Amino acid sequence: MAEHSNAASHADHDHHDHKPHGWRRWVFATNHKDIGTMYLIFACTMFFIGGFMAMLIRLELFKPGMQFFDPQFFNSMTTMHALIMIFGAVMPAWTGLANWMIPMQVGAPDMALPRLNNFSFWILPFAFTLLIGTLFVPGGAPAGGWTMYPPLVLQNGASFPMLIFAVHMMGASSILGAINVVVTIMNMRAPGMTLLRMPLFTWTWLITAYLLIAVMPVLAGAVTMLLTDHFFGTTFFTAAGGGDPVMFQHIFWFFGHPEVYILILPAFGIVSEIIPTFSRKPLFGYEAMVYATASIAFLSFIVWAHHMFTVGMPLAAQLFFMLSTMLIAVPTGVKVFNWTATMWKGSLTFEPPMLFALAFLFLFSIGGFSGLMLGIVPADYQYQDTYFVVAHFHYVLVPGAIFAIMGGVYYWLPKWVGNMYDMTLAKWHFWLSTIFVNVLFFPQHFLGLAGMPRRIPDYAVQFTDWNMVSSIGGFGFGLSQLLFVYVIVKCVWSGKRVETGRVWEGAHGLEWELPTPAPYHSWTEAPSDSIIAKGAAH
Amino acid sequence: MSRNKVAMMPMIRLNFARLAALLAAALALSAPAHAESGWGLLNMTKGVTAISRRVYDLHMEIFEICVAIAIVVFGVMIWSIVKFRKSKGAVADTTLVHSTRVEVMWTAIPVVILIVMAVPAARTLVVIEDTTNTQLSIKVTGFQWGWQYDYLDQGVSFISRLDRQSDAARALGSGTDPNTIEHYLLNVDHPLVVPVGTKVRLLLTGADVIHSWWVPDFGVKKDAIPGFVNEAWFNVDTDRPGLYRGQCAELCGRDHGFMPIVVDVRSKEDFAAWVKDELAQKQATAPAAQAPAASTAAAPAPAPAASTATGPGAAAPAAG
């Protein structure tokens, strides 16, 4: 309770929109919106850097034969693309959205720990400068895959310690960000904002934050063991010294599978906000959605070995991980059914956020189906490490996580800046992205099933046709994203003013009870119980 | 007005379809003309072993169930999108927010479907994991970048690498069109030779980093891990001798994409004759060929065997 009275009295003598000017506003930022903005700009920058690497990958794979790069550089590109997209684009984008939206959604003036917030953001530019800097050191950038499997990862040159330290920094940043989210949600909710009144985006982020706190230290431990294996003579992962390279994979994927849900749970949250708004109907099965999210999070801790069915595990272990993996389809199915039921008997309109949410619904489901197929161990022996896997995880990450991020930006951008964006251009961005993302990734299912391994710079000639299609889709998708930036910049600079607090007709939730654009300090006075009840609307 | 909007949708879709067709046609024209077209390569191979066929059937079964679910779920979604449009005057039924009966149903039905999937999968897995009663044991050592094969009971061993033609053509700026190379990147200098109708056990290990031995037609993919020995097995149908190709499936460094696997499956008699030949050659060149497994990288590469590309049922290779 103390927080709330503090916040209120603080607001009394704090002027409206009082903020530092110039570079100090950003470097010393403690405001959740400023930090959120920096996170989002950072994520967008990384999205384009990682995307550029993807373009180079698709360029080399456009036809068989080595046209442009040395295989080692190609391997660096696949490794760096993954690290940058996961840790640099998607995760910071989620933290940026969390920063912006969680205080607004729970009725708080700001995040609970503003200086920690500043620190967790400012670690990132250094971490990624270090990581991207590896491109310029002897031996080139890390080329052993983002999964950093030993012994291969130990063959990296000067980039190796840089990679490890960069991963440590990213992990620290994520943990601090997650702590801030948990503390904010647990302590800064307005009176009356009970846990089961919280919007789904806040809910999914709360669960995501716990996952982050649970598994990022595991990753840090795993890479530290790599570091000591390399420099201090330990043999955690070397059979000759009594270690086991497969142990790294177990530890890595114990982090890695919850990480997958760290990337997608907030997407579930956003989609659960957007679909009710544009269906003009409350979310169907709110509580089931919360419990499904929690179940998915729990299950994510006991399925890790499905990433490594070919390493030679005992039969019982394989059966266990197959069954636990299949079980995830149940809560995930519940979510998809609930979203569908939300649209049922609704009154639907198709503004850009809704379009992205709908594409998410269809395309994420396709990724879910291929995920289910991958869980079937005997079939996985054929799928493992092929383009089928590449198609699967790109379906859940690009039209999954990234479409949800874009949908979220289109949903909340008018609230943030007080201007509406160009709907026509945004729809163009949507249709181009959706078409090209399918041209890009759908044929990769075929390639994988036909026998093309992943992470190869050159391929047998029978794979040419679908690789060309995939590359064309890739270039198209990449170029379409420039439109996204243009739409945002145009909106911020010269968008049409939005006067109403509730930007969208069917929007519910506390963020829409604030004026537009959202004030610098969100809820300087706690919202009343009636406003909270109205916002919760379920 | 609202009618117009509804009518627009199919029209737009149609245009996209036409666009896609055009794009495909343009691609087909621009693609270099090579013998086998890749457009038809859409699905997993059925392979040539009982296991690979079971795996294929399992794959198709799960795929078909997924398609069926997708038709239902996507159908409802599309129906909602079409039917419940505000522009068509749809009014939201805001009371429809919860239904225990429906929610229990759509939790229970997937569980049943999953059990239907899991049972045959578990059965197949049990068979795959049964490595007893094997008739031929071959140690497979993955190294950067190739494979060493040791026939444990026959005393035959050799190294298998990417064939020279592919190796020359794959160099950056080689100027060679990969389409002119037979089995580009999928051909080796010295294929693994095994008999049909025999339960062949592979003992896999890695010399340096982790590799993965994968031949899709056998339904076998198993990691070759330094310091550990993994087991896998296959038994090729007696009526399916021939050459079967695969690749390393685990990223293993710079030339990961260039360490193919070729298995030459022969009749039992031909296999016995081949073993005899190999042993005879080994005797003839005894002092030179004593390079043990320990120094795989330094071992002299066997002379290239041009005959590996000659197709199924080839006579003894011209290696030597």
Mean pLDDT of the B171-187 span? 92
Crossing angle of helices A464-494 and A423-450, in 10° steps, is 160
Does A41 lie at the interface with B, CB-CB under 8 angstroms?
no
A306 counts as catalytic: yes
Query: Does B87 have pLDDT greater than 80?
Result: yes
For B132-169, write each residue's pLDDT tens digit: 999 999 999 999 999 999 999 999 999 999 999 999 99
Distances (CA, A) of A379 to A166, A371, A445, B111, B192: 36, 12, 14, 20, 24
A394 counts as catalytic: no
A173 counts as catalytic: yes
Whether the CB-CB separation of A10 and A524 falls below 8 Å is answered with yes
Distances (CA, A) of A261 to A328, A529, B166: 11, 33, 42
Does A75 lie at the interface with B, CB-CB under 8 angstroms?
yes
Maximal CA-CA distance, chain B: 90
For A46-101, write each residue's pLDDT tens digit: 999 999 999 999 999 999 999 999 999 999 999 999 999 999 999 999 999 999 99
- By Cβ distance, the residue of A69, A151, A310 closest to B212 is A310
Distances (CA, A) of B284 to B32, B276, B280, B288: 47, 12, 6, 9
Distances (CA, A) of A19 to A22, A24, A26, A235, B189: 10, 10, 10, 53, 71
Query: Does B311 have pLDDT greater than 60?
Result: no
Q: Which helix (H) or strand (E) holds A43?
A: helix A32-60
Beta bridge partners of B149: B140, B158
**For residue B1, what pLDDT band results from cuts at 50, 70 and 90?**
very low
For B114-124, write each residue's pLDDT tens digit: 999 999 999 99
What confidence score (pLDDT) does residue A9 get?
43
- ipTM of the shown complex: 0.91
pTM: 0.89
With tokens 């379409």, the residue in question is A480
- By Cβ distance, the residue of B38, B126, B258 closest to A466 is B38
Does A365 lie at the interface with B, CB-CB under 8 angstroms?
yes
How close A6 gets to chain B, by Cα (Å)?
Answer: 37
Answer whether B114 sits within 8 Å of A349, measured CB to CB.
Answer: no
Query: Does B11 have pLDDT greater than 70?
Result: no
A384 CB neighbours in chain B (<8 A) are 212, 221, 249
Of the listed A168, A257, A281, A429, which one is catalytic?
A: A257
For B189-213, write each residue's pLDDT tens digit: 999 999 999 999 999 999 999 999 9
Beta bridge partners of B266: B195
What confidence score (pLDDT) does residue B6 get?
40
What three-state secondary structure class fits A514? coil
Say what percent of chain B tops pLDDT 90: 72
Structure tokens given for A255: 């982090």
Mutation pick from B43, B54, B77 vs chain A, by most beta carbons of A within 10 Å, is B77
* Length of chain B measured in residues: 320
Structure tokens given for B100: 């225990």
Whole-angstrom Cα Rg for chain A: 23
- By Cβ distance, the residue of A145, A366, A381 closest to B221 is A381
A365 counts as catalytic: no
What confidence score (pLDDT) does residue B288 get?
53
Answer whether B246 sits within 8 Å of A386, measured CB to CB.
Answer: no
Query: Does B79 have pLDDT greater than 90?
Result: yes
Distances (CA, A) of B219 to A382, A531, B50: 6, 60, 9
With tokens 């029978």, the residue in question is A462
B177 CB neighbours in chain A (<8 A) are 65
Q: What is the DSSP secondary structure assignment for residue B199, as one 8-state letter?
A: -
Answer whether B76 sits within 8 Å of A344, measured CB to CB.
Answer: yes
What confidence score (pLDDT) does residue B173 get?
85
For residue A151, is the peptide bond before it cis, meaning its omega torsion is within 30 degrees of 0?
Answer: yes
B220 CB neighbours in chain A (<8 A) are 381
What confidence score (pLDDT) does residue A519 get?
92
Mutation pick from B95, B254, B263 vs chain A, by most beta carbons of A within 10 Å, is B254
Distances (CA, A) of B110 to A362, B74, B142: 18, 16, 41
Answer whether A462 sits within 8 Å of B38, measured CB to CB.
Answer: yes
A422 counts as catalytic: no
Query: Does B214 have pLDDT greater than 60?
Result: yes
Structure tokens given for A190: 């307005």
Whether the CB-CB separation of B220 and B250 falls below 8 Å is answered with no
What confidence score (pLDDT) does residue B282 get?
86
Distances (CA, A) of A355 to A302, A362, A407, B17, B48: 34, 11, 8, 19, 46
Beta bridge partners of B220: B215
Task: Using 50 as the pLDDT threshold, list the residues of chain A that sit under it.
Answer: 1-15
Answer whether A326 sits within 8 Å of B23, measured CB to CB.
Answer: no
For B160-172, write each residue's pLDDT tens digit: 999 999 999 999 9
- Indicate the average pLDDT of chain B: 84
Structure tokens given for A426: 């945004």
A429 counts as catalytic: no
Compute φ and ψ for B275, nearest 5 degrees.
-60, -45
- By Cβ distance, the residue of B39, B129, B178 closest to A65 is B178
A416 counts as catalytic: no
A with B: how many residue pairs have Cβ under 8 Å apart? Answer: 308
A332 counts as catalytic: yes
B293: exposed, middle or buried (C-beta count within 10 Å: 0-12, 13-18, 19+)? middle
Q: Please give the span between the terminal C-alpha atoms of chain B, in angstroms, as a whole number.
A: 81
How close B268 gets to chain A, by Cα (Å)?
Answer: 27
What three-state secondary structure class fits A19? coil
Which contacts (CB < 8 Å, 24+ apart) does range A482-488 have? A483/A425, A483/A428, A483/A429, A483/A432, A484/A406, A484/A429, A484/A433, A485/A44, A486/A425, A487/A421, A487/A422, A487/A425, A487/A426, A487/A429, A488/A409, A488/A413, A488/A421
Name the residue in chain B with its Cα closest to that of A453.
B249
Whole-angstrom Cα Rg for chain B: 27
Q: What angle do CA B95, A358, A100 make, to 5 degrees?
A: 85
Answer whether A337 sits within 8 Å of B73, measured CB to CB.
Answer: yes
